[in-house]
Amino acid sequence: MTYFSLNFGSQPVSFREALLTGQAPDKGLYFPTEIPKYSPKNWLDFKSLSLTELAFKIIEPYIKDDIPAPILQDFINKTLSFSLPIVKINESIKVLELFHGPTLAFKDIGAKFMSLCLGYCIQNTNKTTTVLVATSGDTGGAVAQGFLNVAGVEVVILYPKGRVSALQEQQLTTHGSNIKALEVEGSFDDCQAMVKEAFMDTQLVELKNLTSANSINVARWLPQQFYYLHLWQSFNQAIDVVSVPSGNFGNIAALLIAQASGLPIKHVIAACNANKIIPDYFKSQNFIERSSIATISNAMDIAKPSNFVRIQQIFNNNFNALTSVMSAYSFSDDETKDAMRYLFKNYNYIADPHGAVAFLGLKNYLNNKPQQQGVFVETAHPYKFSNIVEETLVTKLTPPVAIQNLLHVPQHKTKIKPFYKDLKDYLLST
């Protein structure tokens, strides 16, 4: 399997090269030259496999030329080392909880898988690899945990000042060791733009051996299919609809590429907050440039979702084909809070703001299709947003055991302005 740039100005590369470089030289995201296709009979046969066996079956074609099968299977086993519960809300709605990993967020799977692949691919080199990543909240914590003390790797995380939760900031700034945190006086889009510019700086790329751990990296993006393989295995039939809280659109792009391989999920919803460039695109077929808006679901506060171009490629840039299997909705903070209260009052379910947005997307869709059943995705533990959850629900949350010891650890961070020169100067000084 090779990967080509979605800007179509660079030569195809192997999985290993796409992993190590993160972004193509022409600024494009890498995309596989082929999406493996499996028939309905194949999927029936897959029912007998364990999740780790099925995950290997689906991802192995993307990687097999670069990581031997036994090692790849071991990486999958280590990645899928925690539960992914599916909780019943009512007769027509369930929730897939992806926050039971070490950093209480869905990105634990992609970050762990990528760290294992990267560690393997650089093991015989003498040069330190710098993993450069921008985060709107959960990516940074998951990457920090996944890459902590990985030999030959230094991690530099950019996050927007005042736009991540207190717990998210603790997870970004308290590891030390090979993990460095940069607090940027700007938005996530500023952080992401600085990271992308760094990858275009050939001098810096060569000196620091840069790669990315954002979902622009294929090794972070593709293993997110594992969530939906697990979800499908838990049902006895095709799933009508899945609603995914969407910011940079890597998670939902992974679901859609699995669907393109034949995964029996019929419809997909991109549930967004007030940053609604994609819901607006679905209405007008035009991208309207705007700045990001700060919301209570901060991990989705992204005005320029990088991975949407991958979704367009999955559907060969055919708008009608895309909208036949995908819908997109936007909800305000007030609507999000109302949804949190509704779930708590009626079902005793505590949702974080991102999960509440996904619930709203699913509920909105099912209003016109009462005969269907669906699943919404809960991507972060409610305690990661304890201030807003406790205030909205008028209840007290207990910190999970996984983070109780983290709450009072001193932070280590460097403050920088939202300018590329500041980032470059920092990287060259370390």
Residue 302 in any domain: the answer is yes
Q: Give pLDDT, residue 33.
A: 98
Per-residue pLDDT, averaged over 221-240, amounts to 95
User: Do 214 and 188 contact (CB within 8 A), yes or no?
Assistant: no
Average pLDDT, the chain: 94
Q: Give, in order, the Cα–Cα distances in Å from 52 to each of 19, 113, 166, 233, 356.
A: 22, 13, 34, 12, 29
Examine the pLDDT at 138 and tell me if it is beyond 80: no
pLDDT in tens, 234-248: 997 899 999 999 999
Q: Is 349 helix (H, G, I), strand (E, B) or coil?
A: coil
Residue 55 in any domain: the answer is no
Show Cβ contacts of residue 151 under 8 Å, excluding neighbours closer than 6 positions. Answer: 119, 123
CA 181 to mean position of chain CA atoms? 19
Residue 43 in any domain: the answer is no
pLDDT in tens, 406-427: 878 899 999 999 999 999 999 9
Range of the domain at 359: 84-430
Please say if 88 is a catalytic residue: no
Q: Give pLDDT, residue 19.
A: 95
Residue 409 in any domain: the answer is yes
Residue 38 in any domain: the answer is no
Q: What is the pLDDT confidence band of residue 50, given thresholds at 50, 70 and 90? A: very high
User: Do 341 and 210 contact (CB within 8 A), yes or no?
Assistant: no
Q: Are strands 239-245 and 265-272 parallel, antiparallel or unpaired?
A: parallel
Per-residue pLDDT, averaged over 314-323, amounts to 97
pLDDT in tens, 72-112: 999 999 999 999 999 999 999 999 999 999 989 999 999 99
pLDDT in tens, 352-395: 999 999 999 999 999 989 899 999 999 999 999 999 999 999 99
pLDDT in tens, 1-22: 999 999 999 999 999 999 999 9
User: Do 75 and 357 contact (CB within 8 A), yes or no?
Assistant: no
Question: Which of these, 346, 384, 339, 385, lies nearest to 361 by C-alpha position?
Answer: 339
What letter would DSSP give residue 422?
Answer: H
Q: How many Cα atoms are found within 13 Å in the side-chain-facing hemisphere of 112?
A: 20
Q: Are strands 153-160 and 179-184 parallel, antiparallel or unpaired?
A: parallel
Q: Give pLDDT, residue 349.
A: 98
Residue 389 in any domain: the answer is yes
Question: Which of these, 76, 70, 74, 40, lies nearest to 58 by C-alpha position?
Answer: 76
Residues in the chain: 430
Residue 346 in any domain: the answer is yes
- What whole-number distance in Å separates Cα of residue 300 and Cα of residue 273? 7
User: Do 168 and 410 contact (CB within 8 A), yes or no?
Assistant: no
Q: Which of 94, 107, 180, 363 does the annotation list as catalytic?
A: 107
Q: Are strands 129-134 and 153-160 parallel, antiparallel or unpaired?
A: parallel
Q: What is the pLDDT confidence band of residue 139, given thresholds at 50, 70 and 90? A: confident
Per-residue pLDDT, averaged over 318-339, amounts to 98
Count of structural domains within the chain = 1
Q: Is 223 helix (H, G, I), strand (E, B) or coil?
A: helix
CATH number at residue 281: 3.40.50.1100
Residue 288 in any domain: the answer is yes
Q: Give pLDDT, residue 34.
A: 97
Q: Could you count the other beta carbons within 10 Å of the beta carbon of residue 421?
A: 11
Q: What is the pTM of this model?
A: 0.91
CA 180 to mean position of chain CA atoms? 20
Q: Give pLDDT, residue 380.
A: 94
